[in-house]
Structure 1
Amino acid sequence: MSPARAGLLTRLVQPVIARLVQPVIDRQVRRALSTAETDASFAIGSRAGDTLSDRYPYDREEIQRQALEAWRVNPLARRIVGLTSQYVVGGGVSISCPHPATAAFLRTFWEHPLNRLPVRVYEWCDELTRSGNLFILLTTDASGMSYARAIPAAQVRRILSRPNDLDQETAFEMQPNWAEGEPVAWQVYDPREEQRTSEGTFRPVMLHYAINRPVGAQWGESDLAPALRWLSRYAAWLEDRARLNRFRTAFLYIVRARFTSEAERRARQSSLNAAPPSPGSILVTDENETWDALHPRLESDDAGQDGLALKKMLAAGAGIPMHFLAEPEGSTRTTAEAAGGPTYRHFEQRQRFFLWLLSDLLRAVVNRRSAVDGRISRRAEVALTGADISARDNVSLSMAANNISAVLRGVRDRGLIDDAEFLRLIYRFCGESVDVEEMLARGKTAGSREPSKGVKTAAQPVKVDPETGEEKTGGVNG
C-alpha cells in the first residue's frame, strides 16, 4: 500500500474509532475521579501495600524475626522490652465509667476467664514494643460477649486499605497456612458495617495499632530495630572478652634441659605429662633443668571503654539511661536522676498511646454488646487510668502546687485573675491537663462548702528534695 493510500485510510478510520472508544475512556476517567473525591482521600494515587515509607516485606519480616530472637536470647533486649511494660502498664490499668450497666459489663469483659486482660495487657505491651505492631482479633458470641486475642505480627502478610487512603484499613491478609491452603483475610472493625449472622453472632474482626510508624506507612517498627545491630555487636564483644578472660590464667610449663638424644627428651616429657605438678607443689631440680611458665599476655586496659561505648549506643537507641542497664557510669546520684527525665517522658507518651489503644478496644466491645443488650449505652464515657510513671514526680508536683496555691489565692482575691485562670494554674502546677470550663461547671453544680475552721495547712511541713522526692534529714529547720 502506498503512503498516500495509508494516510487517506488513517484519516477516514480515526474519526470512527474516536467516536466508539472516547466515550468508554471518558466514563473510566469520571469513575476514577468520583472515587477520589468521595472516599475522604488524603493520599490520592497511592496503592494499598505499596508505599515508599514502608520497608520491603522481607526486610520487615526479618527485623521482626531478629527482634523476637534478640528478646529470647539477649538479656539487654529482654530488659529493654520489660522496662517499657513495667513503666507503661506498671501496677495495672483501672477502668471507670459513670454508666452502671456499662461499667458492670466492662468489668465482666475485663476479667472474663477467656480474656484475662489484667494479665494479657503486659503481653500486649511486650508485643507492641517488640514488633511495633499489635493485631487484636475480636470475636463475639450471640450474647454480645467479646473475646480478644493478640495475633503475632509475623503472621500478618499484608495490610489492605482503601485505594486512595492508607489510613483507612479494610482487611488484613494472613500468612498462608499450607495445611489449610488459601490464606485467611480478617476484615477490619468498622462500626458502620456491623452485621449479625443468621446465628445471632458477629463476624470476627481485627484491630491494628502501630508505634514508630513513619508518615505514609502502614506498618510500625520495633523499639529494638535501631539497636539490633549493636545488640549483636555487644554480645559478640562480651563473648570474646569472656573467652579471653578464661584463657588469661592458662599457662604452660617449659622445661629446658640438656638431653643426649631425642628419645631421652620424649621420655622426660612423657613422665611429666603422666604426673604433672599440681598448683602449690614444690619442684626440686638440678642445674641441668630449668622450669619456666608460658602464659598469654592480653593487653585489655581499654576493653572496658570499648564495652561502655557499645552499651551507650544501645542505651541511646532504646531511649533509656545507662543506669537502667546496670551501668552506673557516674558516681553521683544527681546525674542519674537528671538522666531519667527524657526517659520518663517517653514512657508517658507510650502509656498515653497504650491507654488509648485499650479504650478503642473497649469502645468496640461496648458497641457490639449494645446491639444485644439495650441496657448498655454506646455513648457512655469510658476512662482508663494507668499507674504513675514516677512517684518522685508526684512529690515534686505536690510541693509545687502547695507552694503556689497561697500565691495564686492572694492574686485572685485582689481581682487580678478570674476563677478560670486560677484553676488552670493550679492544675498546671499539679501536672494535669483538664478542661477548665467543665471543671468550673461541675464545681458550681456541686455547690460551695464552708471551709473547716481551726485547721491551718503549712506551706511545706517537711523539707523534701525536689530531685529525689525524699525527705531531708533535720525536719523543717534542718
Structure 2
Amino acid sequence: MAFDWLQKRFSRRRAQLRRAEEDNTLTVGASTLWAHSEGPRDRWPNDRGQMLADALEAWRVNPLARRMVGLTTQYVTGSGIQVRCAHAPTQDFLRFFWEHPLNRMAVRTAEWCDELTRTGNLFVLMSSDAAGMSYVRAVPADQIERIQSAENDVEQELAFWPRATLEQPDPQPWMGRGADQAAVMLHYAINRPAGAQWGESDLGPVLRWLSRYGNWLEDRARLNRFRNAFLYVVRTRFSQPLERSARQQALNANPPGAGAILVTDENEEWSVLAPKLESADANTDGLALKKMIAAGAGLPLHFLAEPESSTRTTAEAAGGPTYRHFEQRQRFFLWMLGDVLRFAVGRRAAVDRQLDPRAEIQVLGSDISARDNVSLGLAAVNALNALCELRDRQLIDDAELLRLTYKFAGESVDVEQMLARGRSAGGGPGSRPTPARKPIPALDLENGETKT
C-alpha cells in the first residue's frame, strides 16, 4: 500500500517536471520538491550534523586543524579591516555600529572567519531597536535545523528553523532579510555547490585524514615510549620448579643496574629481550598522510611545520596558489561584511533620513603578502619608465598609460574615472613642476635611423 502511494506520487512529480516551463513555474537551482527544506545537492541532515560535530571536535583537539583554520583567519583579516564611506552621516553611523560595545566588529570578524572556515556557513542574527540601531550575533551552524526558501528559487531564503531543544521543543523560525521584523537572519556560505542551500567546511575533505594521521602519530609515540624497555632472560637448568622460583625472586629483589657486571658460570646464560620497531618506512608513511592533508587544505607543507628539505625558491613557488586562495576568501569575506553593513544602514535609514542607503560602502582589508608589494612596486617603476617613453612618442594615449601602470602595480581601477579625477584635481599650489624632457628624435621605421 505504501509502495503504491509513493509510486503514484513520484509519477505525478515526473509528469509535472515534463511540462513546459513558464516564468511563473521556473525553478532556479532546485525543484519545488526540495524548495521548503534541503536542496537536492545538500547533505542529509544527519550527515551534515555529524560533519559539523567532527569539524568542531577536530578544531578543538587536532593541532593541524586548528592551524589550518587559524591560517585562513590570519590572512583574511590580517592586521585589521577598515570601513569607508564618502557620505559623512553614513560614515558616522558605520563607525558607531562598528565600535558599539554590543557589536565589537573589530574583534568579531576573526570569530566570524573561524566559523565560516570551520563550518562553511555563517548565520548572522541581526536585531534592531526602535531607533534603527542594529546588533549582530553569529548563530552556530549546528543549531540550524533547516532552511526554508522560495518555491521557485533555492537561493531566496525565507526562514531559518532552529533545532528543537528540551527548553524549546517547538521553536519559532527566524525570518530572512526580506521580513519586516525586528530580528532577521542573514546566511552566507562558502564551498557551496550550485543548487545547494548549505556550504561545506574547509575541513570536510581532510577530516578523515586528520583522524588517520592523529592515530598513526599516537601509535608511533606509544611504541617509541616502550622502545627502550627491555627484559632480562636468564637461561639455566633447575632440578625443581622451586629452585627456579627462588632464583627469580632473588634477581627481582636485586636487579642488575645499568653498567653492572655480572659473573656467571657456563650453566647460566643471560640475554636481553627488547622490542624491534622496524620503523625504516615510518617517516615515509607519515609524510604521505601529511601530504594528503596539505593537498586537501590547499596549503604547502612548510605551512604545516614540514619543510621536507624545501629550499626558499620552492617554498615561494608553492605559496603562490595558497595566496590566491586566501585572496579569494578575503574578497568574499569583505563582500560579506559590506552586505551586513549595507543592511544595517538600510534599517537605520528607515528612521534617520540623514543616512543614504545607496551610499557606496568600501570594506578594505590588509594585503595578503607584503612581499608581493615590493615586487609589484619594482615592476611598476620599471614599466612606468618605458611607458613614459611610449607616451612621449605619442604611441599610446593617457588612458593606456594609466591602465598599464596600474596593471603592473597589481591594482584594478576605472581608468576613465581616474583621468577625470586627475583633471579636476589640477596642479595645486604644492605640486611639483613636470621636469622637462629632452625631445626624442623621430626614427625611420624602415632602417631604424634617426630622421633629420
Please report the TM-score for the alignment, with normalisation by the length of structure 1: 0.83
- Mapped to 2, the partners of 1:334 and 1:349 lie a distance apart of 24
| Alignment of structure 1 residues 317-328 onto 2, 5 Å | 317-328=296-307
| 2:446 aligned partner | none
- Residue 73 of structure 2 contacts residue 113 of structure 2 at CA under 8 Å; is this kept in 1? yes
What secondary structure is seen at the aligned counterpart in 2 of 1:128? Answer: helix
- Mapped to 2, the partners of 1:430 and 1:171 lie a distance apart of 45
- Mapped to 2, the partners of 1:420 and 1:39 lie a distance apart of 48
- Residue 116 of structure 2 contacts residue 189 of structure 2 at CA under 8 Å; is this kept in 1? yes
The alignment status of 1:172 with 2:172, answered yes or no, reads: no
- CA deviation vs aligned residue, 1:39-96 (integer Å, no higher than 9, x gap): 8853473332243211111111111111011001111000000000000011110111
TM-fit CA distance, 1:454 = 8.0
Relative to structure 1, is the Cα distance of residues 133 and 438 closer, same or farther in structure 2, using a 3 angstrom cutoff? same
| 1:89 aligned partner | 77
- Residue 176 of structure 1 contacts residue 184 of structure 1 at CA under 8 Å; is this kept in 2? no
Between Structure 1 and Structure 2, how many residues are aligned? 416
What secondary structure is seen at the aligned counterpart in 1 of 2:23? Answer: helix
TM-fit CA distance, 1:208 = 0.2
Relative to structure 1, is the Cα distance of residues 119 and 44 closer, same or farther in structure 2, using a 3 angstrom cutoff? closer
- Mapped to 2, the partners of 1:436 and 1:445 lie a distance apart of 14
- CA deviation vs aligned residue, 1:322-346 (integer Å, no higher than 9, x gap): 0000000134111111100000000
Relative to structure 1, is the Cα distance of residues 119 and 411 closer, same or farther in structure 2, using a 3 angstrom cutoff? same
- Mapped to 2, the partners of 1:409 and 1:339 lie a distance apart of 35
- Mapped to 2, the partners of 1:441 and 1:70 lie a distance apart of 53
Deviates more, 1:41-50 or 1:381-390: 41-50
- Mapped to 2, the partners of 1:43 and 1:117 lie a distance apart of 33
Within the candidate set 224, 236, 239, 2:218 is matched to 239
The alignment status of 1:451 with 2:432, answered yes or no, reads: yes
Within the candidate set 82, 95, 115, 2:103 is matched to 115
Gaps of 5+ in 2: 1-15, 438-452
| 2:120 aligned partner | 132
What secondary structure is seen at the aligned counterpart in 2 of 1:253? Answer: strand
| Alignment of structure 1 residues 11-50 onto 2, 5 Å | 37-38=23-24, 41-43=27-29, 45-46=31-32, 47-48=34-35, 49-50=37-38
TM-fit CA distance, 1:410 = 1.0
What secondary structure is seen at the aligned counterpart in 2 of 1:37? Answer: coil
Deviates more, 1:150-159 or 1:369-378: 369-378
What secondary structure is seen at the aligned counterpart in 2 of 1:285? Answer: coil
> What one-letter code is carried by the residue in structure 2 that aligns with 1:126?
D
- Mapped to 2, the partners of 1:280 and 1:291 lie a distance apart of 15
- Residue 30 of structure 2 contacts residue 195 of structure 2 at CA under 8 Å; is this kept in 1? no
- Mapped to 1, the partners of 2:127 and 2:413 lie a distance apart of 35
- Mapped to 2, the partners of 1:91 and 1:139 lie a distance apart of 28
| Alignment of structure 1 residues 298-377 onto 2, 5 Å | 298-377=277-356
| 2:254 aligned partner | 275
Gaps of 5+ in 1: 1-28, 195-201, 457-478
| 2:190 aligned partner | 211
The alignment status of 1:145 with 2:133, answered yes or no, reads: yes
Deviates more, 1:384-393 or 1:283-292: 283-292
What secondary structure is seen at the aligned counterpart in 2 of 1:383? Answer: strand
The alignment status of 1:104 with 2:92, answered yes or no, reads: yes
The alignment status of 1:414 with 2:393, answered yes or no, reads: yes
> Once superposed, which parts of structure 1, at least 4 consecutive aligned residues long, lie more than 4 Å away?
38-41, 452-456
Q: Percent identity?
A: 62
- Mapped to 2, the partners of 1:45 and 1:90 lie a distance apart of 41
- Mapped to 2, the partners of 1:173 and 1:182 lie a distance apart of 10
